[in-house]
Chain A
Amino acid sequence: MIEFDDVTKRYPDGTVAVGNLSMTIPTGAITVLVGPSGCGKTTSLRMINRMIDPTSGSIRIDGEDITGQDPALLRRSIGYVIQHAGLFPHRTVVDNVATVPVLEGMSRKQARAAAYTLLERVGLTAGMADRYPVQLSGGQQQRVGVARALAADPPVMLMDEPFSAVDPVVREGLQQEFLRLQGELGKTIVMVTHDIDEAIKLGDHVAVFAEGGRLAQLSAPEELLANPVDDFVAGFVGRDRGYRGLSFAGSADLDVEPVTTEVEGLRLSLDDAGRPLGWAGVGGLLPTEGSYHAGDSLRVVTDLTLLSPAGAAVRVDAEGRADGLVRQSTVAAYVRRRQLGRLGSTES
């Protein structure tokens, strides 16, 4: 657990980068600091490993005030990943990853052996180990950056815009893998981004910062979308928050109708194995535009009902056999009841 207690960072010219910040970052979860540029999110992040010292207030990691700690030792216990990876250009990939263990006194040979395992863990091949960073793509460099941060197995990881320097397709892949890795490792992660969508996608908790280093809201992403505390947060979260909020709702409670039901004059046509072929009507076979599994989010189901020519989403089982239909009107009624329940419960 990382606690900010009334932390302020004021520069000699009077600029307040962070103002009276108090927040608690829980252990074993991803907390994303997000906000417009100049809102103090990066300053806050860099105060955790004492790259910047606060003007007043204190920061504690697992109850211990970091102010009294040796900065070098503190930093070795905190993984650090930055935009463009910040790899050492004069060291090979494997030696980059071995950096912190070697600093901690591990023999180079041992540290390298461990580094090879880590490279595999972040999806790189052993063949890349002896290359120099300049010989890797941006995405590969970022993977090395993550491996380097993980090398000493620190309980805490700080990530400053780790995925912003790569193209959208690569970013998507890195984000997925990052979530998979975090699922295995369960680190306490603090990440900074300016991209609200990334914050909502990756964060277990999202801290929205406003100009002047003010923490506007810290809550689960679902909560952020559903109940922004003020106009600033609402504006920053942006459009479609109702629709985006559906990503966090399950589809298990939707009323499912049998696959044989006729919807808007169309009937689902199946192959011999029971897999959907399309919607059969007078004009012939129309595409289903995809299907969903029982574990998918309400957003996936809603999207399918919007795309389907029949206005109904097709649910399939693990083998891809159609086992139910959900109508647009069913989804709409469900979402309405859900929203009513949420707002009702907030007020009471």
Chain B
Amino acid sequence: MNFFEDVREYLRVNHEAVVQSLLDHIWLALLPVGIAFVLSLPIGWAVSRFGWIRHPVLTLSSIIYTIPSLALLLLLPGILHTSILDPLNVVVALSLYSLALLVRTVVDGLESIDDQIVQAATAMGYRPARRWFTVDLPLALPVILSGLRVATVANISMVSVAALIGIGGLGQLFTRGFQLGFYGPPIAIGLVLCVALALLADTIIVLFQRLVTPWTRAGSSR
């Protein structure tokens, strides 16, 4: 009982800082996913179009994903000539991780399409660009969007690390808790908001997926 009163008290005093952390967390997590998504489509297209780059691109993706996030956050200021406290470091680092994840799913998605359908579209008289956007891409969407769900949730959880190098987000509530000698309330608030945010973002993507890929559910209503 006492703990919940402490949480309420903490929120009463620090609600402005908590809201600010939440907002920082949202854009720090989602902007990289957006950037990575936009970049992953042409890269995925190129991989499906030029077979020889498949191996190098996918290997590079795997390597990027194995770099520890803290190391990358400390390395990037040197590469980008940014200050260590610049949020750009976080955005770039998370964009790279998201890109590594999404390139693979875009490639998987495009490769999951029945070649006969693509052939049929070409034989109907589609030009390559229009065919890609109106046949290939929509058919790859179920796989691509499931990758986007993973990337989004992973990012929302990973942004917390940014607090360790002094950048905003809900992770700051964790560092605050530690600074106050393992004081529970900010840690609990940060954890709950982080999970809630991940669930909300995931739900939005699932709803979007239902909206844009109605045919995937048609089979069951026969």
Chain A positions within 8 Å of B, measured between CB atoms, are 49, 51, 72-76, 80, 82, 84, 86-91, 99-100, 103, 131-132, 134-135, 148
Contact = CB atoms under 8 A, between A and B. Distances in A.
Contact of B117 (A88, A100, A135): A88
Contact of A134 (B135, B139, B218): B218
Given A76-B124, A89-B139, A103-B125, A51 B119 contact: yes
B126 A49 contact: no
Given A89-B117, A90-B138, A90-B213, A132 B122 contact: no
Contact of A82 (B120, B130, B135, B218): B120
B211 to A, nearest CB: 13
B117 A86 contact: yes
Main secondary structure of the interface of B (DSSP, over half): helix
Contacts of A90: 135, 138-139, 213, 215
20 contacts: A51-B123, A75-B122, A75-B123, A80-B123, A82-B120, A84-B116, A86-B117, A87-B120, A90-B138, A90-B139, A90-B215, A99-B124, A103-B124, A103-B125, A103-B126, A132-B214, A134-B215, A134-B218, A135-B218, A148-B124
A49 B222 CA distance: 35
A99 B122 CA distance: 12
Contact of B222 (A82, A91, A135, A148): A135
B221 interface: yes
A132 B119 contact: no
Interface string B178-222: 000000000000000000000000000000000001110011011
Contacts of A72: 125-127
Given A90-B215, A103-B125, A132-B214, 15 more contacts: A74-B125, A75-B122, A76-B124, A82-B123, A84-B116, A86-B117, A88-B135, A89-B139, A90-B138, A90-B139, A103-B124, A132-B218, A134-B215, A134-B218, A135-B219
Contacts of A75: 122-125
Contacts of A51: 119, 122-123
Interface string B25-69: 000000000000000000000000000000000000000000000
Contacts of A80: 120, 123-124
A94 B133 CA distance: 20
Interface string B115-155: 01101111111110010000100110000000000000000
Contacts of B121: 88
A73 B127 CA distance: 9
B109 to A, nearest CB: 13
A217 to B, nearest CB: 28
B116 A100 contact: no
A99 B138 CA distance: 15
Interface in B66-120: 116-117, 119-120
Nearest to A134: B219
A76 B222 CA distance: 32
A89 B217 CA distance: 11
A91 B216 CA distance: 11
Interface string B157-188: 00000000000000000000000000000000
Contacts of A82: 116, 119-120, 123
Contacts of B120: 80, 82, 86-88
Contacts of A132: 214-215, 218-219
A82 B120 CA distance: 8
Contacts of A88: 117, 120-121, 135, 139
B48 to A, nearest CB: 18
Contacts of B219: 132, 134-135
A73 B214 CA distance: 31
**6 shortest A-B CB distances, which residue pairs?**
A76-B125, A86-B120, A75-B125, A132-B218, A80-B123, A132-B215
A72 B121 CA distance: 10
A87 B119 CA distance: 11
A84 B117 CA distance: 10
Contact of B125 (A100, A131, A134): A100
A80 B135 CA distance: 17
Nearest to B218: A132
Nearest to B123: A80
Contact of B116 (A74, A86, A131, A135): A86
Nearest to A46: B123
A162 B222 CA distance: 24
B92 to A, nearest CB: 35
A148 B125 CA distance: 12
Nearest to A136: B222
Interface string B5-33: 00000000000000000000000000000
Nearest to A160: B123
Contacts of B125: 72-76, 100, 103
B127 to A, nearest CB: 5
Contacts of A76: 124-125
A87 B215 CA distance: 12
Nearest to A85: B120
